[in-house]
Structure 1
Amino acid sequence: MPELSASMEAEFVKTGESTRLSRKFHSYPLKIAKPFSLAHGQLGVYVMDASPGMMAGDRYKFKWELGEGAHVYATNQSMTKVHPSRKYAGGPLVPSVQQTTVLLRADSLFEYIPEPVMLYKDAALVSHTEIRMEAGSALIVSEILCPGRMSRGELFQFDSYKSKLSVFYNGETVYSGRQNIQPASTSFNAKGGWNGFTHLGSLCVFREGICSKHVDTVRDTVRSYLESDPAYRFSAGVSLTYKHGLVLNVLGTGAEPIQRLLRSVWGALRLLLFGLPPLEIGK
């Protein structure tokens, strides 16, 4: 199957009290579905992928730009599925690549909550995300990583997952996070490792003024979630970034419970930071 090089670009502006999509571009198999209005002038957007998933050598490029005061919620229609990254048995590794660029103008808010990433057996994914924020802008972004189709016995049989997230606020680097997961050279049950957990989730929040009280809110929400569902086992940690942000990381044994936990934290921070109720979007 030939390699795909697909792009998607979207620009948003605030008009009156509402946000609208002012420009869009997408190439197969990516597509922006028709935007939909949400409460408080927010606009919702779905990204669609008409392919069965990312194949060996596929390159996806995403660019999001929010004008001053724009407020956007974005997600995708389903999981990002990453297929084996060798085109034939014994062939060279040809990783799939996903590049995302986000530009947030003053006083804009971007909530990017995609579905989990599923790494099939022998899959290799390289993901680079760069976010540039102007004064007064805010960002909430999540990610969940699944270690294979567990029903098929693919647990940690992917080749590699390499990611980099860079966040700049007024031109200054306020966060830089990297991951390099290579199951073949990793002991997931070793002390200091994954300790028997299989799924990884994260929620990153950036806004000027984030401080220890917001970290306390995250911890209280995590404790409440654990008390409400004591049968579910996970490990979580939250910390402030260098400036203007916090990051919550969660290890668990399934994507759906981590999604519920991240949504609980997202809802609590949405109320505390912006005075907005939790956002419930059906799919």
Structure 2
Amino acid sequence: MAADSPPPSFERYAAEPVPQAAVGAPGKDGVLELTFERTSRGTALVHDYATVPFHISGTLGHDPHPEAETVFVQSPTGGVAQGDRHDLTIAVEADAIAHVSTQSSTKVQTMERNYAGVDTALSVAAGGHLDYVPEPTILHADARYTQDLRLDVADGATAIVGDVVVSGRLARGERFEFDRYRSRLRATGPDGLLFEDATHLAPDESDPSAPGLLGEHAVYGTLFVVAPGRDAASLSDDLHEAVAATDARAGATELPNDAGVAVRALGDCADTVRTACDAAWDRARRALLDASAPSGRKY
């Protein structure tokens, strides 16, 4: 869990007390659990549990796929604060199809002590599909944020996991003023590890705008299309064609172990990167589910 095992680069922050509300105080350790099952009427949300700062107000049945279900995770708070520890568990049972996103961007607030950590466990049973594509994460000045995502897919299961990171409140001139950002995705299948991918940015230690990193760009997006056993080469070419037609600097490549395709996009604003990732998401969904990606409707 995020609260118990900080990565080595965050251990020095973990010992810092939080004067406003300590780690573990009510509202600091948010928990979200969602389980989707296939029923005679399509996919249904059969279990949900949420503590502050998470809130669920039901499902939305506007997915282009007739048997899919949608949940938007809400938050009554102003964003992620120092000392927050969040744990998310999303399970998609056999043959179910689910789309989980957030109501709005995640704002990682300025921090003077400690850090914020999120631990997310995603699982998709045989024949199931999960779209986990939250709205962008915005890193305010001095933010310290780490997230670990674990994805497990069974035989015949597929998943699309997206992430867009904005390097600051760009309209206010913030750019790479956060303290540290780390994100890791570990995907496993029936035979074990499929791939791992990590992003670790610490502007005080290494300039993220250096050549070979983000360069002149301020927003970074990824989309992982995890579909073991599918024609990854053909899918990679298809997704590359989709993102090449956008204004972002973007491309697609095959994942190791025949696990699927990774898409990466860079841009000067969140909308540019989101457009590229959404284009790839739509193309991937048509290939995997024969249905377009959901629209941006949040109601």
The answer to whether TM tops 0.5 is yes
Partner of 1:152: 172
Letter in 2 for 1:30: F
Contact 2:202 2:208 in 1 (8 A): no
Q: Deviation at 1:192?
A: 2.0
CA contact (8 A) 1:124 1:161 kept: yes
For residue 32 of structure 2, what is the aligned residue in structure 1? 8
Do 1:132 and 1:171's aligned partners in 2 also have CA atoms closer than 8 Å? no
For 1:21-170, what aligned pairs fall within 5 Å after superposition?
21-37=45-61, 38=63, 39-86=65-112, 93-170=113-190
SS of 2:235 mapped into structure 1: helix
Q: Name the residue aligned to 2:255.
A: 241
How much identity, in percent, do the aligned residues show?
22
Q: Does 1:219 align with 2:240?
A: yes
Q: Distance in 2 between matches of 1:107 and 1:211?
A: 18
Deviations 1:194-221 (A, max 9, x none): 2211110000001121421111101111
Among 180, 185, 188, the alignment partner of 2:205 is 185
The aligned amino acid for 1:29 is: P
State the 1:17 CA deviation: 4.4
Give the distance between the partners of 1:65 and 1:278, measured in 2 at CA.
20
- Whether the aligned pair in 2 keeps the contact of 1:189 and 1:196 (CA below 8 Å) is yes
Q: CA separation in 2, counterparts of 1:240 and 1:82?
A: 31
After superposition, the Cα gap between the structure-2 partners of 1:97 and 1:53, relative to the gap in structure 1 and judged at 3 Å, is same
Which ranges in structure 1 are unaligned for 5 or more consecutive residues? Answer: 87-92, 226-231
In terms of fraction of residues, the more strand-rich structure is: 1
Runs of 4+ more than 3 Å apart: none
> What is the alpha-carbon distance in structure 2 between the residues aligned to residue 69 and residue 98 of structure 1?
28
Q: TM-score, normalised by structure 1?
A: 0.91
1:99 alignment partner, SS class: strand
Question: CA shift at 1:54, angstroms?
Answer: 0.9
RMSD value, Cα: 1.4
Contact 1:214 1:269 survives alignment (8 Å): yes
Contact kept? 1:188, 1:196, Cα under 8 Å: no
Please give the alpha-carbon distance, in whole angstroms, between the structure 2 residues aligned to 1:122 and 1:140: 30
Q: Displacement, 1:84? A: 1.8
Q: Where in structure 2 are there 5+ consecutive unaligned residues?
A: 1-19
Count, aligned residues: 270
Task: Quote the offset at 1:28 in angstroms.
Answer: 1.2
Q: Using the TM superposition, give the Cα deviation of residue 171 of structure 1 relative to its aligned residue in structure 2, in angstroms.
A: 4.4
